[in-house]
Amino acid sequence: MSEHKKKKKPFALRLLKFLMDVGVFVLIVLAISYVLSTFVAQRILVHNVSMQDTLMEGDVVLMDKFSYRFRDPERFQIICFDSDYEREGLIKRIIGMPGETIMISHGMIFINGNQLKDVKGLTPIEDAGLAAEEIHLGEDEYFVVGDNRDKSIDSRFAEVGNVKKDKIIGRAGLIIYPFNRFGMIR
């Protein structure tokens, strides 16, 4: 036999090296998954009908948790936020911005006394709730409303109220399931 041939390592050592390699790989995957789900994106299941026809009950939405670290939410964006009302967070559309005055009268939304040019195709609001009187938003508060206005518990009601910026988890960006509804959220 040639002296240049390497001796084969015992099976136990090869198995141990393989298991260590797999363990390191699994730890790396878990670390990347943690960073992505904590700081970048999160999957949210829509549990109710308050955002129909934009989002349907059972839709799985990919939420962008990253962009609001660098810019503020904008009017008409759909956000997910922590709420005492719903354990897994609520999904609603931003209508009122920090510092504005909101009022709902005759089914129409008024911001600082001017009628809002709302998202097309939404029904008028029958129950103004708390917004039947003027609501003044603080410098870190947003007024949110569901697209299915008559079936939505939102900022019009004490259960939800105004949403503080630090309660916003992220912006709903993409429907990922069911596959026939896959696409960007508008």
Active site residues: 50, 92
Rounded Cα distance, 186 and 61, in Å: 12
Contact by Cβ (8 Å): 97, 75: yes
Handedness of CA 85, 161, 175, 44 (dihedral sign): negative
CA 20 to each of CA 8, 14, 27, 151: distance values in angstroms, whole numbers, following the listed order: 19, 10, 10, 54
* Token pair recorded at residue 50: 């308050």
Tell whether omega for the bond before 53 is within 30 degrees of 0, i.e. cis: yes
Contact by Cβ (8 Å): 174, 185: yes
End-to-end CA distance of the chain: 72
Pairing of strands 90-96, 141-145: antiparallel
Rounded Cα distance, 28 and 12, in Å: 24
